[in-house]
Amino acid sequence: MKKISLTGIKPTGDLHIGNYFGAIKPALELAKEYDARYFIADYHALNTMKNSKELNFTIRQVAAGWLACGLDPEKVIFYRQSSIPEVFELTAMLMAFTAKGLMNRAHAYKAAVQENTERGDDTDAGINMGLFTYPVLMAADIIIFDSDIVPVGRDQVQHIEMAQDMAQSVNANYGQQVLKVPQAGVQDNTAVVPGLDGRKMSKSYGNVIPLFASEKALHKTIMRITTNSQSVQEPKDPDTSQIFQLYKLFADESGQAALAERYRAGGMGWGEAKEELFSAVNRCLSPIRERYDAIMSDIPSLDRILKQGAEKARPIAAATVKRFRKAAGID
Ligand code: ADP
Ligand code: TRP
C-alpha cells in the first residue's frame, strides 16, 4: 500500500512565491509517489479572519492556487477542511487526551502571550480558544486520514510533534494502535525564500511577491526590492543579493552561472538585475497565472472539484472516527 502524504494551507491571503517553493511545489512532488490528501484549512483561518466576504474569497484563491500550480484532483484528494465534519468530532475526542500544559507550550500561543506582556496588556488579550487549541484541530486534520508524512515548513514541526503525542496517548491508553502516528516531512533543500526586504518572505511582513499578480503589478513589486548603494560599475556579490537568491529559484544552472558572472564583472546596476529577475519570474509564472485566472473565472466548477474531493475524503475520515469511538466504548 502506498504511504499517505497530507498537508493544508490556511486561506489567510494571497499566495506568494514563498508558499509556492516552500510548500506547494514540494507537496506536489510528494504526490507523485504517495497517496496525497491536500486541503484548505478554512476553520484555521477563521481564528484570525472575521470578514466573511474576504474569507469566502481567500478560500477560493488558495484552492485555485493549488490547481493552477498543477494539483490533479483526479490523483490527489483535494477538499476544504470545513466540508469534513468528522474532523471536528475527532478534535473533540483528542481534546480529552491533550494536556492543557501542552497547549501552553505551543509556539504561536506563547508568542502571542509574549507580545501582550511586552505591550503591558493582559497576557491573554486578543487570544481566542481557536488559537489556543489550534494544535488539536491540526492534529485531527492529520490523524483522521491516517497520514504517514506531513510536508510542512520548519515552523510547523512542533504541531506535528504534538499530533504524535496525542495519537500515542490514545494508543497507549487503549493498548492498541487506534490512530496512526504521523511524521513531519521537512525538506532540507527547501530554502527559506527571501522577501523584498531580505527577511523571510511572509504575509505578516508585507514583503511578498504574489504568485498571481498581473504582469504590471509583478514588475512594480520586483522593482521595490531593497538594495544597497553600490554603483552600476561596481562588481557585485550574487551570493549576498536577495535579487540573485530569488533569481536562482527561476533559472537553471547555466542561467544562474551566466548571471552570477555578470554580477561579478561589474557594469550591471541593481535596476538591470531586477529586470533580469522580472523576466525570469514572469516567464515561469505566466502560464500558472493564466490557469489561475481561468479557474477563478469559474467558481462553480472550482466548488464542484472541492465538493467531489470532500466526498472522497469523508468515508476515510468516518472510518477513523468509528475506530476511535469503538476503542473508547462510544460505539
Ligand atoms: P505566511 O508566512 O506568508 O503567513 P504561511 O504561514 O501561511 O505563510 O505558510 C504557508 C506555507 O508556506 C507553510 O508551509 C510555510 O512553511 C510555507 N512558507 C511560507 N513562507 C515561506 C518562505 N518565505 N519560504 C519558504 N516557505 C514558506
Ligand atoms: N498550521 C498550518 C500552517 O499554518 C496549516 C495547517 C492546518 C496544516 N492543518 C494542517 C498543515 C495539517 C499540515 C497538516 O501553515
User: DSSP 3-state helix, strand, coil percentages of the chain (rounded to 5)?
Assistant: 60, 10, 35
The pLDDT of residue 189 is: 61
Residue nearest to atom 6 of ligand 2 (CA): 8
Residue 13 has pLDDT above 80, yes or no: yes
* Ligand sitting nearest the alpha carbon of 152: 1
CB burial readout 78-113, b (16+ within 10 A) else e: bbbbbbbebbebbbebbeebbeeebbeebebbeebb
Kindly state the DSSP code that residue 226 receives in the 8-state scheme: -
* Ligand sitting nearest the alpha carbon of 25: 1
Q: How far is CA 110 from CA 7, 105, 115, 188, in A?
A: 24, 6, 9, 26
The pLDDT of residue 204 is: 87
**Distance between alpha carbon 252 and the CA centroid of its chain, in Å?**
25
pLDDT in tens, 251-279: 999 999 999 999 999 999 999 999 999 99
- Could you give the percent of the chain with pLDDT greater than 90? 93
> How far is ligand 2, taken at its centre, from the CA of residue 283, in Å?
30
C-alpha to C-alpha distance for 97 and 85, rounded to whole angstroms: 20
**Distance between alpha carbon 209 and the CA centroid of its chain, in Å?**
15
**Cβ < 6 A, ligand 2 pocket:** 6-8, 10, 41, 44, 138, 141-142, 150, 152, 156, 159
The pLDDT of residue 210 is: 96
The structure's pTM equals: 0.94
**CB 42, CB 11: distance < 8 Å:** yes
Residue 286 has pLDDT above 80, yes or no: yes
The pLDDT of residue 218 is: 97
Is the model more confident about 75 or about 152? 75
The pLDDT of residue 190 is: 65
Pocket test for ligand 2, best of 144, 159, 162 (most atoms within 8 A of CB): 159
Residue 317 has pLDDT above 70, yes or no: yes
C-alpha to C-alpha distance for 23 and 21, rounded to whole angstroms: 6
